[in-house]
Amino acid sequence: MKKIVLTAAFLTVGVFAMAQQNGGMMQKDPAQMEQKRAENLKKMQTDLNLTDAQVNQIKALQDKRMAERKEQAPAMQAERKARMEAWRAKREQHMAEMKQILTPEQFQKWEAQKKEQMQNRGMKMKEMKMKKMQNN
């Protein structure tokens, strides 16, 4: 039973962590992104000793790839939404089954434990993020 609880908790944390990371990427300033892209191209040109023609070809290839991504974005968002809805349905089913197995008191205690585990994991994730930021 502990394995089921831990698995459910890990899945929940993982999904929300990934959702937050992906959401953060979408909110970057386009001017910053273009500046970063130009810096990367300049670094590639220096490191690889690229000609201007090669840089232009790489830039065109990147433009093409970005256009393809933008075209595919709505489908990917719909797919992500469908996966989340399926995950939520499975989670609701699991909760209903646990509610049938446990007494009301046990169920409340189990939910409280899950909530505490989530909070602890959230704190650990923040600590890891802070350490990562300090190392950079």
Distance CA 95, CA 115 (A): 14
Q: Is the model's pLDDT at 124 over the cut of 80?
A: yes
Higher-pLDDT residue of 13, 44? 44
Distance CA 29, CA 69 (A): 17
Percent of the chain with pLDDT over 90: 67
pLDDT in tens, 17-55: 555 554 444 567 889 999 999 999 999 999 999 999 999
Q: Is the model's pLDDT at 12 over the cut of 80?
A: no
Cβ proximity of 2 and 110 under 8 Å: no
- Strands, E assignment, the chain: none
Instruction: Report the pLDDT value the prediction gives residue 54, as an integer from 0 to 100.
Output: 95
Q: For the chain, what is the mean pLDDT? A: 85
Instruction: Report the pLDDT value the prediction gives residue 21, as an integer from 0 to 100.
Output: 52
Q: Which helix (H) or strand (E) holds 35?
A: helix 30-48
Domain assignments of the chain as residue spans, ordered by start: 31-101, 102-136
pLDDT band at 135 (very low <50, low <70, confident <90, very high): confident
